[in-house]
């Protein structure tokens, strides 16, 4: 597939939350942007799988507005640029898929689109590409193609596909006899015995065909998506959907809205290894293991342990003599649970949100911004310490705080600091004091990341004590 008109447009659905993977996955930085298995996040891994420009057009990424700069930054880090479409609200996968079809149809009428969940792990990249190539045979003829995987056990958290007769005599490409969503345990056991496949949640289709099927089965979603795209606008390099139009869409999944109803559907039996990493036990299943079947990611060690998952971000975590245990540690939260009960983490998170610990379900100790990031190091009564990193060529907003003072110490690089009508250049080990009410900005005019320690002091030190006078990134 080297002809430009035959290339596939990848669409990455990257707007989900993933509370079952707390405390790593949180509202402000969900699982698709986290390196849960390997060096790169699943979002980056998905981008790299569709980076072959002989086969794919530049990708379209659909994500929540809150994640826009982070999605852009991670894409740049792996050298795969594309269009980032911003959802002003969460409306589940049906609205996102309708937007993808409408947007892709505007770019390449009748072109092929592969819609991929950005929070899945796919191993065996060559086998994945073979599955895509095979699915194109049905998609070009007007079928919506789903990708099925052979079940390993009767799970109730997946949709199931009943593969019927072969399509063009291809054993791994079949017409779909039935498509059912999340059965009970007894029904799931029967499906596995009858040769059903798990639905991976990834789709291949012609944009005009998907639009036709939406018009037939979910016209209200299509109407909202069409208006949201037609009335959308470019904002700082992103494509922002029109808010009221998009929010008028019903909130439902693409499976319920279209896939279970359409008659134009085929399935490719995928031979690649796959996981939706919907819970910590799913990560244990797919990750590399030691001789005792332990998985250790980050700063962890297992001694005399068996079948455990240790995932630690910046905190040395040791597990001794345990079996089938999940231990997940961050700088501000630790989860310890039997592997058999990790599906209950979502309920735990809901309980935390209703109580006094809502903040640990929402934000990380590392807070990402368009200009870089900040790591919370220590917080106490009337003070907080942060390590701030500003990218080369970037600068913070011009802002002031009414209830706190700030002290900055440069530990690496060179900072150009403006406070009211003064501007000063600070190098390593030099410092600056910003009084309450002082209008200030930090600029990194150098070629290396600027790192500094910020100490906040005052009666109130919350992030919402800020008045942005000028901002390059549209946050004021």
Task: Return the CATH number at 268.
Answer: 3.90.550.10
What CA–CA distance (Å, rounded) separates 325 from 303? 13
| pLDDT at site 475 | 58
| pLDDT at site 357 | 73
| Least confident segment among 72-81, 116-125, 363-372, 408-417 | 363-372
Q: Is 233 helix (H, G, I), strand (E, B) or coil?
A: strand
DSSP state of 168: T
Query: 294 lies in a domain?
Result: yes
Which residue, among 108, 112, 92, 135, has the nearest Cα to 210 in the 3D structure? 112
Q: Are residues 167 and 219 in the same domain?
A: yes
Q: Are residues 351 and 256 in the same domain?
A: no
| pLDDT at site 291 | 97
Q: How confident is the model at residue 88 (pLDDT cuts 50, 70, 90)?
A: very high
* pLDDT of 474 over the 90 cut: no
The Cα-based distances of 182 to 143, 161, 198, 331 in angstroms read 23, 11, 10, 36
pLDDT tens by residue, 201-226: 899 999 999 999 999 999 999 999 99
Percent of the chain surpassing pLDDT 70: 98
Backbone angles phi, psi at 359, to 5 degrees: -60, -35
**Last-in-domain residue among 359, 377, 410:** 359
Cα four-point dihedral sign 180, 182, 183, 186: positive
* pLDDT of 473 over the 90 cut: no
Q: Total domain count for the chain?
A: 3
> pTM for the full model?
0.87
**Last-in-domain residue among 319, 337, 359:** 359
Query: 17 lies in a domain?
Result: yes
Q: Are residues 147 and 23 in the same domain?
A: yes
**Last-in-domain residue among 335, 359, 383:** 359
pLDDT tens by residue, 282-323: 999 999 999 999 999 999 999 999 999 999 987 899 999 999
| pLDDT at site 329 | 94
| pLDDT at site 180 | 81
| pLDDT at site 354 | 85
**What domain range is 443 assigned to?**
366-470
Q: Are residues 294 and 206 in the same domain?
A: no
């Amino acid at each position: 597939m080297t002809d430009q008109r035959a290339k596939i447009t990848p669409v990455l659905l990257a707007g989900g939350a993933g509370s079952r993977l707390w405390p790593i996955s949180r509202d402000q930085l969900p699982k698709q942007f986290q390196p849960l298995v390997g060096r790169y996040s699943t979002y980056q891994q998905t981008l790299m799988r569709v980076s072959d420009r002989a086969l794919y057009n530049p990708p379209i990424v659909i994500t929540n507005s809150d994640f826009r700069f982070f999605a852009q930054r991670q894409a740049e880090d792996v050298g795969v640029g594309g269009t980032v479409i911003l959802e002003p609200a969460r409306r589940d996968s049906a609205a996102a898929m309708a937007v993808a079809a409408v947007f892709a149809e505007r770019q390449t009428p009748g072109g092929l689109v592969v819609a991929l969940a950005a929070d899945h792990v796919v191993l065996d990249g060559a086998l994945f590409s073979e599955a895509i190539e095979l699915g194109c045979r049905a998609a070009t003829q007007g079928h919506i193609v789903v990708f099925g995987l052979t079940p390993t056990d009767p799970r109730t958290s997946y949709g199931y596909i009943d593969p019927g007769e072969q399509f063009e005599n291809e054993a791994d490409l079949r017409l779909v006899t039935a498509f059912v969503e999340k059965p009970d345990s007894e029904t799931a056991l029967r499906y596995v015995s009858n040769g059903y496949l798990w639905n991976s949640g990834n789709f291949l289709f012609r944009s005009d065909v998907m639009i036709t099927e939406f018009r037939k089965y979910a016209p209200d979603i299509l109407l909202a998506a069409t208006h949201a795209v037609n009335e959308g606008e470019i904002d700082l390099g992103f494509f922002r959907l029109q808010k009221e139009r998009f929010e008028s869409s019903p909130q439902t999944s693409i499976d319920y809205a279209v896939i279970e109803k359409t008659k134009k559907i085929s399935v490719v039996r995928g031979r690649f290894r796959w996981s939706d990493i919907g819970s910590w036990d799913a990560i244990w299943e797919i990750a590399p293991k030691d001789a005792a079947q332990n998985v250790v990611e980050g700063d962890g060690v297992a001694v005399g342990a068996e079948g455990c998952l240790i995932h630690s971000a910046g905190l040395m975590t040791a597990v001794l003599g345990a079996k089938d245990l999940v231990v997940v540690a961050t700088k501000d939260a630790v989860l310890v649970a039997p592997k058999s009960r990790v599906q209950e983490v979502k309920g735990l998170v809901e309980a935390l949100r209703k109580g006094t610990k809502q903040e640990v379900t929402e934000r990380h100790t590392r807070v990402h911004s368009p200009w870089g990031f900040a790591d919370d190091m220590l917080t106490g009564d009337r003070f907080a310490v942060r390590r701030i990193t500003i990218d080369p060529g970037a600068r913070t907003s011009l802002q002031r705080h009414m209830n706190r003072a700030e002290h900055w110490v440069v530990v690496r690089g060179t900072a150009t600091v403006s406070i009211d009508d003064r501007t000063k250049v600070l190098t390593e080990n030099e410092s600056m004091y910003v009084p309450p009410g002082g209008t200030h900005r930090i600029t990194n005019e150098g070629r290396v990341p600027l790192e500094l320690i910020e100490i906040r002091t005052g009666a109130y030190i919350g992030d919402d004590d800020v008045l942005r006078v000028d901002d390059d990134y549209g946050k004021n």
